[in-house]
Structure 1
Amino acid sequence: MVDAAPRTNRPGLLDGLDPEQRAAAAAPRGPVCVLAGAGTGKTRTITHRIAYLISAGHVAPGQVLAVTFTARAAGEMRTRLRALGVEGAQALTFHAAARRQLRYFWPRVIGDRMWDLLEGKLRLVGQAAQRAGLGTEAELLRDLASEIEWAKASLVTPDEYPATAVKVQRDSPAAPQQVAEVYRLYEKLKNNAQVLDFDDLLLQTTAVLEEHGEVAREFRDRYRCFIVDEYQDVTPLQQRLLDAWLGGRDDLTVVGDANQTIYSFGGASPRPLLEFTRRFPEATVVRLERDYRSTPQVVELANKVIGAARNRPAGSRLRLIGQRPPGPEPKFAEFEDEPTEAAAVAARVRTLLDAGVPASEVAILYRINAQSEAYEQALAEAGIPYLVRGGERFFDRREVRQAMVSLRTAAGDPPPTELVTAVRSVLARVGLTDQPPAGGAARERWDALLSLVEVAEELAATVPGADLPRYVAELEQRAAAQHPPTVEGVTLASLHAAKGLEWDAVFLVGLAEGTMPILHADGDDNAIEEERRLFYVGVTRAREHLWLSWSLSRHPGGRRNRRRSRFLYGLLPEHHPAARVPRSQAARGGAKPKCRLCGETLAGTMEIKLGRCERCPSNLDEGLFDRLKEWRSARAKELKVPPYVVFTDATLLAIAEQQPTDRGALVSISGIGPSKVAKFGEDVLAVIQGER
């Protein structure tokens, strides 16, 4: 049991925490598992736990290592720790922590200087692919690079890759043996050049700690207390590094939410989080379910989204409880085409801005980056400033680099004025005026400079006596960690890039089948559930205003053959004109489809796609299946897209089993809509008839 009023050297340190947050922050040393739902204050809880452990004398600041998955999250953690008076505790990403450790230990265990870090692997992957007899198209190289990253994160060697890829049903960008050869050649080229990629930072650090006892003892004597944020996203490689850090000890706090596992494609798994108490039976477990981020209306919708998930493990059944005052109901909207949808979103954004919502508190989120173009154009036409997340890095912008040079120079002979005034004075020389420019690029530059002033204001409020040299050091640290300040403008971002962020108003756009869930997830129940979790992450980014929309065709005047996402069924108000479930989707919520062989009700996406239950024998024509894959490969190369964009393996399997003889039979197969039939139907029927 956790003492309700723990002793601490800092009276009031835990004031303001709710009972569950307080229990997590004041839990005794040892294994602690915090199951924290979206918006429940997990960063606040983590930082107060670190401050409590230090204040109570359980651990020294320099013995704490907190790790998370993004530089922004690590920067936020450091800022909050500083506000709590904690200096010296490490808050880093896994890769930043490993790089720092490897740089320190490299001369002792390997000798000479540490190898350089490879910023991008496509050049070496391209050389490896060429030697392996594969193409060097940019799309293929990106897919091969991603597959190598997955293999290394999953602790799979080149020799093990072919068997593992088949076992876990990886959608490999080429034949598994060919991918393995590219992987092997890439590693050889990299080692010959004496460079490391980002995964090597984790692999090499793990090897050093596992193979050199003296180094491991020195490290473990330095770091005694470990905190891992976003633990549901840990990969096998990261878990192995964490185990090497611990060295059999149990002073570990993990925080995560299995409902927000969205990186399985990269090797992440919620299993370590869900099995934490099996590994540490004596662990303290705390559930955070009070949502302080979103209105009850948004929380209710989020609970409906994740509540429809199938086969949820016990550790993921968090149900959020809204703590904010009521707000507006989420809005649902259907449009004829994408440009109309984008224009309507831009108009709604303008209404919010006119009502006083800051542009930096508005986000437009989509499933894939290619969807941003229509919204960039619509916002530009409406004169609304925006930023594409994942574009040019803040600290790489020209005006920011110029400002940093001027600030470093001024810090050498700081003026005898308070910090914010000094910063404004320096930035005035590089373009910061009292009043903002009218708009365009000049306004973007002005906003970037103003955000540097806001960093100074934040530092002055949290560090008494902070001066210009201290401020420049803060900027240098943020630049190294890529932890930028907030810049005014509507955020455009993919759902994956939005993880860990929040806004007053969120627009979830393009919610149509084939996009949400993504086309290549169809036929795989696990992939569909990950898409549902991604949608849940999007919903829970909104504090107050939430807009969900989709369009029925891509271009004006195009065929209206799209359907809204299956994840929206049951969410729309009954009176909404789009609330009716289309007949084509009845299998998802109404009458259940039957097995074409025995007549039994089908269960699961794959059974529905194949048109038969798993008990009935397959009548697969293997020769036809191979010919279909050959045709798909050629067609994908011609279109310069991954093969799954043409048809997934599951869809080809269904075609090879059912062998449709006309377009009507082809479109009846789950996952094949009118657009696919129009584009590929004649080819597929010709392959079936043996004409190609």
Structure 2
Amino acid sequence: MKNSEQRIIDGLNEEQREVVTAQRQNILVLAGAGTGKTRVLVSRIAYLVEHCGVDSNRILAVTFTNKAAREMRERLIGLLGEYSVRRLWAYTFHTASSHILRNFAEEAGLTRNFTIIDTSDQLALVKRVMQDLNLPADICVNGIRYNSRNYLQKIMDEKSRGHRPGMEGSSILPCFYDVYALYQTRCDKSDQVDFEELILRTCELIESNPQVRHYIRLKFQEILVDEFQDTSSLQYRWLKLVSGIENLDPGKHPANVLIVGDDDQSIYGWRGAAVENMFYFQKEFSPVKLVKLVQNYRSTKAILSNANSLIKNNSKHVAEKTLITRNPDATMVKLMESYDSSDEADEIAKIIRKLIDNLKKDPSEIAVLYRTNAQSRMIEKAMVEYGVDYNIYGGARFFDREEIKNTLAYLRLIVNPEDNISFNRIVNVPSRKIGKVTLGKIEALRREFGISMFKAAEMYALKNKSRSLQNFIELIHVFSARVAESPKNMDDIVRFLESVIEDSGLGTYYREKSAMDDADSSNDRFGNIEELISDISGRDYDELSDQGFDNAGEVLEDGKEISKSRNTDDNSVPENKKMKYTIADFIQIYLSSAALMPSSELLKSEEDSAVNLMTIHCSKGLEFEVVIIAGFEKGLLPLERYSSIKTDQNAHIEEERRLAYVAITRAKELLFLSCANWHSSYDGQYPTGPSPFTYELDSCSIDTDMNFLDA
């Protein structure tokens, strides 16, 4: 029988074992595509617990997606057991920040029931702020039109740089800092936090509060960060603060930090990712052990040969590396050239038809990748003509559907009556005939007294006979009282949710809407609400306990008590001291989870056996037996539209080359690179031709022979 260490390292290659069994120190793992980094991370955590004596409750693993965190937990259960894994912190930056802020809510200027608002709610708030500042919905500056989305993006950009409204710089957007300041004031008064605020406020909390900083420093002994090349400057600042390398208390040692990343796969510069963070880490966390993972377990030699040949043309590398594989070489990479984009779409559909019919390929293992969403239109049309089932990976989130957002808005208002966005969303859903005049008067009261919309509505209802408004207020009061109760089991929560849906009128409203929809409609509105209830009741709420900070080994040296808002961990508190979770606690965890589900984790499909269509950005982290890259041509890859913007054009080309590299390395067995010589647009056709990246590929492992498809 294998001992525990052998069980952990069994099957790992030499470089992987070097990472897993390294002494406790700062480590940079340069992990190429398909080199098994997830297995290395999981094995490293198991090794720290089993052989280095690290309590799993002292380990923080930071991933970029909830899916990756779940996968990590699932793999660890097999190595460590459920108890240890339940105590482990394996979260995204945003979720980890949410847990820290809820534990130290008072110190952060929040309540434990603060609401996390998603992009659509942020946009609604910005629109209202602009209206209140008498700014038009569309503003023209130097012939360019800007709207609320531009203001929201700029606010998020400022936050990602750690800038508050008072730290004024320059902006082409008129009255931008007035919009930003009022937006943030409204969020603070409503006890609401947006995505970037989660991270920024956590940074500010640790920087400004010595007790919290000391407490967190004691909490985490080992920190592991996945996909480090995608971190922003604010996330890097967060890591330095949480690890203790920044503002370290005298005589204290920082946590050991292991980062895993691939500078060749850094493709999110447009949203703040800074590949430079990998270079900063080597300097600021020195000494740092560097280990390169280059053994690829995914792709054929022909595919990797082209990936290596392409990416070596970039000048900025943390360290040189060349991916290798022991996979048997198979078909060469195929280059396809069509007359125009319409012909290209037909060729792609025709090839997929042959892959399915002749080579018996599973449709779900085929992906068509493209640089821009606009490219999918012709491809979809061709798919229909050739009878190929397909799914668009990257459609609307389940949580963005109208009926789901309205149901969640009721729950948000019930647990946080200060939530103005939710009040405005559902006060008239279903219709209560509360007119614009009434809502305008409530809004006026809100402004005059600086209170929430719900409190203003209560004030208005005292002096005005609006039975429908009074009924709405009473409904929220009744359910706000009920959420303070402790459920005996999940059935109690289900019954509560069903009461909210029926008593609010949402049930009847969406049953009628579902009945009115076309028979062929795939969107069963009430069915979606039922699915939501099922999801809430089926969740693993162990997160309720492991989001806390336990007392074991963490008593402050000066004996001072941290805020009473801090939750304690079930595992460390005597049975008679355990907190009784309320319905509100369960709902709050779910609401946070829903809000923190990013666009990269959208519902993948409604058809399991269907070809996947997606942008290259959406494909990051995925793999398929067959990959077809559409539009591998001039103007699309690299994308030309940014060339007129005053930016570092070489940096842009290098990121586009990394994007092409990511697309190529998604393929396991077959890779097709497709281009058109002419591209159609609203103003006619213009010549394109092969991407300049084509001439950087390995010509010895590319051909145009498609005869194998007719086998």
Please, what TM-score do these two structures have when normalized by structure 2?
Answer: 0.64
8 Å CA contact 2:63–2:69 kept in 1: the answer is yes
Q: Deviations over 1:386-422 (max 9, x none)?
A: 2222213468899999xxxxxx87999xxxxxxxxxx
Query: Are 2:154 and 1:147 equivalent residues in the alignment?
Result: yes
Deviations for 1:537-556, whole angstroms, at most 9, x for unmatched residues?
A: 11111111111112233349
Deviation by residue 1:152-208 (Cα, 9 ceiling, x = unmatched): 112234455645xxxxxxxxxx71665444434433343344421111111122222
| Counterpart-to-counterpart distance in 2, 1:370 and 1:281 | 45
Q: Does residue 60 of the first structure (1) align with residue 58 of the second (2)?
A: no
CA contact (8 A) 1:128 1:186 kept: yes
| Alignment partner of 1:283 is 2:283 | no
Alpha-carbon displacement from aligned partner over 1:104-145 (angstroms, at most 9, x marks no partner)? 221465364443222222122234445374543897433332
Match of 1:503 among 621, 624, 627: 624
Aligned to 1:90: 89
Partner of 2:311: 306
Alpha-carbon distance, 1:92 to partner = 1.0
> Which deviates more from structure 2 when the two are superposed, residues 140-149 or residues 39-48?
140-149
Task: Determine helix, strand or coil for the equivalent of 1:543.
Answer: strand
Listed one character per residue, the Cα deviations across residues 335-385 of structure 1 (whole Å, up to 9, x for unaligned) are 122222112111212222232322221111111122222222222333322
**Secondary structure of the equivalent of 1:569?**
helix
Q: Which amino acid in structure 2 is aligned with residue 94 of structure 1?
A: F
**Which stretch of structure 1 is more off in the superposition, 124-133 or 542-551?**
124-133
Structure 2 distance, partners of 1:36, 1:564, is: 30
Partner of 1:293: 298
Q: Deviations over 1:199-230 (max 9, x none)?
A: 11111222222222222333333322110011
Q: Contact (CA 8 Å) 2:393, 2:618: kept in 1 or not?
A: yes
Partners of 1:396 and 1:124 lie apart in 2 by: 16
> Which residue of structure 2 aligns with residue 324 of structure 1?
327
What code does the residue aligned with 2:297 have? Y
Please list, as runs of the form range in 1=range in 2, the aligned pairs for 1:333-412 lying within 5 A after superposition.
333-354=336-357, 355-393=359-397
Supply the distance in 1 between the matched residues of 2:235 and 2:623 (Cα, whole angstroms).
26
- The residue identity in structure 2 corresponding to 1:293 is R
One-letter amino acid of the structure 2 residue matched with residue 124 of structure 1? L
The CA deviation string for residues 209-255 of structure 1, in whole angstroms up to 9 with x for no partner, is: 22222223333333221100111111121112112211230411101
1:107-126 alignment to 2 at 5 Å?
A: 107=106, 110=109, 112-120=111-119, 121-126=122-127
Structure 1 unmatched runs, 5+: 1-6, 164-173, 402-407, 413-438, 457-475, 580-692
Match of 1:233 among 221, 230, 233: 230
Is 1:561 matched with 2:687?
Answer: yes
Task: Report the identity percentage.
Answer: 33
Partner SS for 2:687: coil
Question: Unpaired runs of 5+ in structure 2?
Answer: 140-144, 246-253, 406-489, 495-519, 539-589, 706-711
* TM-superposition CA deviations, 1:250-308 (whole Å, max 9, x none): 41110111111111122211222123232233322110111111111110010111112
In the TM superposition, 1:411-426 aligns within 5 A as: none
SS of 2:617's partner is coil
AA at the equivalent of 1:391:
G
Alignment of 1:474-489 (within 5 A): 487-489=608-610
Deviations 1:48-103 (A, max 9, x none): 10011111143111211101112222222222222333522221110011112212
- Secondary structure at the counterpart of residue 367 of structure 2: strand
CA distance in 1, matches of 2:211, 2:106: 14
Match of 2:515 in 1: none
**2: CA distance, partners of 1:262 / 1:209:** 30
Deviation, 1:22, is 0.5
Measure the CA separation in 1 of the matches of 2:148 and 2:638.
25
- Report what 1:252 is aligned to: 257
Residue 201 of structure 2 aligns with an amino acid whose one-letter code is: Q
Matches of 2:274 and 2:339, distance apart in 1 = 39
Q: CA 1:280 to 1:114, structure 2 compared with 1: closer, same or farther past 3 Å?
A: same
TM-score of the superposed pair, with normalisation by structure 1: 0.66
The aligned amino acid for 2:68 is A
Find the aligned partners of 1:525 and 1:41 in 2 and give their Cα distance. 31
Opposite residue 237 of structure 1, the aligned amino acid is: L
Q: How does 1:666-681 map to 2 (within 5 A)?
A: none
The reply on whether 1:544 has 2:674 as its aligned counterpart is no
Specify the code of the residue in structure 2 equivalent to 1:303.
N
**Alignment correspondent of 1:222:** 219
Distance between the aligned counterparts of 2:400 and 2:285, measured in 1? 44
How far apart are the structure 1 equivalents of 2:687 and 2:305? Answer: 31
Aligned equivalents of 1:398 and 1:133: distance in 2?
28
Q: What letter matches 2:124 in structure 1?
A: R
> Structure 2 matches for 1:399-548, cutoff 5 A?
487-522=608-643, 524-548=649-673
CA–CA distance in structure 1, aligned partners of residues 668 and 379 of structure 2:
21
Number of corresponding residues: 509
Structure 2: how far apart are the matches of 1:399 and 1:117?
A: 19
Q: Which letter maps to 1:105?
A: F
Question: 1:441: how far off?
Answer: 5.9
> Is contact 1:29–1:58 with CA below 8 Å preserved after alignment?
no
Shift of the 505–399 alpha-carbon distance from structure 1 to 2, 3 Å rule, reads farther
| Partner Cα separation in structure 2 for residue 569 and residue 78 of structure 1 | 43
Does the 8 Å CA contact 1:149/1:199 hold for their aligned counterparts?
yes
Moved more, 250-259 or 335-344: 335-344
The residue that corresponds to 1:639 in the other structure is none
SS of equivalent to 1:370: helix
Q: Does the Cα contact within 8 Å between 1:532 and 1:567 map onto a contact in 2? A: yes
CA 1:411–1:328 in structure 2 vs 1: closer, same or farther (change >3 Å)? Answer: farther
Q: Which amino acid aligns with 1:529?
A: E
**1:286-335 per-position Cα deviation (integer Å, ceiling 9, x unaligned):** 101111111111100101111122x223x142211123111211111121
Alignment RMSD (CA, Å): 4.0
Q: Which amino acid aligns with 2:116?
A: L
Measured in 1, the distance between the counterparts of 2:402 and 2:6 equals 46
Instruction: Check whether the contact 1:98–1:205 (CA below 8 A) recurs between aligned residues.
Output: yes
- Name the structure, 1 or 2, with higher relative contact order (CA <8 Å, separation 6+): 2
State the secondary structure of the residue aligned to 1:516: coil
CA shift in 2, pair 1:295/1:574, >3 Å: closer
**1: CA distance between counterparts of 2:51 and 2:612?**
41
Retained in 1: the 8 A contact 2:627–2:667? yes
The 8 Å contact of residues 26 and 257 in structure 2, kept in 1 or not, is answered as yes
Structure 2 CA distance for partners of 1:393 and 1:357, relative to 1, 3 Å: farther
Structure-2 residue corresponding to 1:72: 67
Give the aligned partner of residue 198 of structure 2: 201
> 2:104 aligns to what?
105
Counterpart Cα distance in 2 of 1:285 and 1:563: 41
Residues 333, 701 of structure 2: 8 Å contact kept? no
